[in-house]
Structure 1
Amino acid sequence: MNICQVNKADYPQLLQVWEASVRATHDFLTETDIQYFKPLILNTYFDAVSLCCTKDETGQITGFMGTADNKVEMLFIHPDTRGKGVGKALLRHGITQLHITEVDVNEQNEQAVGFYRHMGFQVVHRSPVDGMGKPFPILSMVLQPA
């Protein structure tokens, strides 16, 4: 699977993938929450990380990952391509090429927690709130040596 760098022209498509993914996996978020986060994602969070993505044969972005230092800050897969290895390809790229060893994940997103566990991460800390103080528990996970 081809991993591509992202540029600002890709941001609107990344936001579409983000929203579709969140609606498919983050059932604990309300519509108000999603609308609150959308401009932050587009105007602040994308610029705060190094972004890479996967694209299908038509050039449409199928998933993306944002990293900073040795940490996955965001990993979102379009629901139409879930279960097809996109997340694994992005995370493996992060581990092997970017030396990723950490990720924070919403505890209520059980599919993501299971995915990271399957990929070798273990929970090392739990916070009852997210980084903005909202009541969405966060699990800090660390990659365990193979």
Structure 2
Amino acid sequence: MEHLTHISNADRQRLVEVWEGAVRATHHFLSEEDIQFFKPLVRDTYLDSVQLTCLRDSEGRISGFIGIADDKVEMLFVDPAQHGQGIGRALLEHAVAQGARAVDVNEQNPRAVGFYLRMGFVQQGRSEVDGSGKPFPILHLVKQ
């Protein structure tokens, strides 16, 4: 049985592992250089800029996590070995219940785009570059 919990500092390495595994499984448009560019930013900056919640399995291991700032989902990553098991849905439903109403998603990640659209989000805008100025188009979605 999985359960939602908050994150402790002891969980940071596992969060980075989940992030990297999920990115490698779904962000095929990123090069190895891109992943290595983002990895320390995730570990040292991005995780500290959001309110984090994770879903843990029966052994207490993190299966996925979500980060929220204000009313926006800033990150949602699920261990790729557990994709398709409702972890992302449970995390996103929790975030929406906490007031999250917006998310940005890489246009080049069609599985994630489809997931958010199925979860009731609609496209409100698009940017040609990501928040780091890299040429990865971002779709701006809002909850209907």
Structures share fold, TM-score greater than 0.5: yes
Task: Please classify the TM superposition score into its range, dividing by the shorter chain length.
Answer: over 0.9
Match of 2:102, as an amino acid?
A: E
Structure 2 match to 1:119? 119
1:50 Cα offset (Å): 0.4
1:59 Cα offset (Å): 1.3
Task: Report runs of 4+ in structure 1 exceeding 2 Å deviation.
Answer: none
Calculate the TM-score normalised by the size of structure 2.
Answer: 0.98
Structure 1 match to 2:105? 105
Structure 1 match to 2:14? 13
Given the alignment of the two structures, is residue 95 of structure 1 paired with residue 83 of structure 2, yes or no? no
> How far apart are the structure 1 equivalents of 2:8 and 2:40?
17
> How far apart are the structure 2 equivalents of 1:131 and 1:18?
17
Given the alignment of the two structures, is residue 59 of structure 1 paired with residue 48 of structure 2, yes or no? no
Unaligned residue ranges in structure 2 (runs of 5+): none
User: What is the SS of the residue equivalent to 1:9?
Assistant: helix
Unaligned residue ranges in structure 1 (runs of 5+): none
User: What is the SS of the residue equivalent to 1:29?
Assistant: coil
Q: Deviations over 1:108-144 (max 9, x none)?
A: 0000000000000000000000011100000000000
> How far apart are the structure 1 equivalents of 2:127 and 2:37?
21
> What does 1:133-144 align with in structure 2 at a 5 Å threshold?
133-144=133-144
Calculate the TM-score normalised by the size of structure 1.
Answer: 0.96
Q: Deviations over 1:69-96 (max 9, x none)?
A: 0000000000111110000000000111
Give the alignment's Cα RMSD to 1 decimal.
0.6
User: What is the SS of the residue equivalent to 1:28?
Assistant: coil
Identical-pair percentage: 55
Match of 2:42, as an amino acid?
A: I
Structure 1 match to 2:37? 36
User: What is the SS of the residue equivalent to 1:90?
Assistant: helix
User: What is the SS of the residue equivalent to 1:40?
Assistant: helix
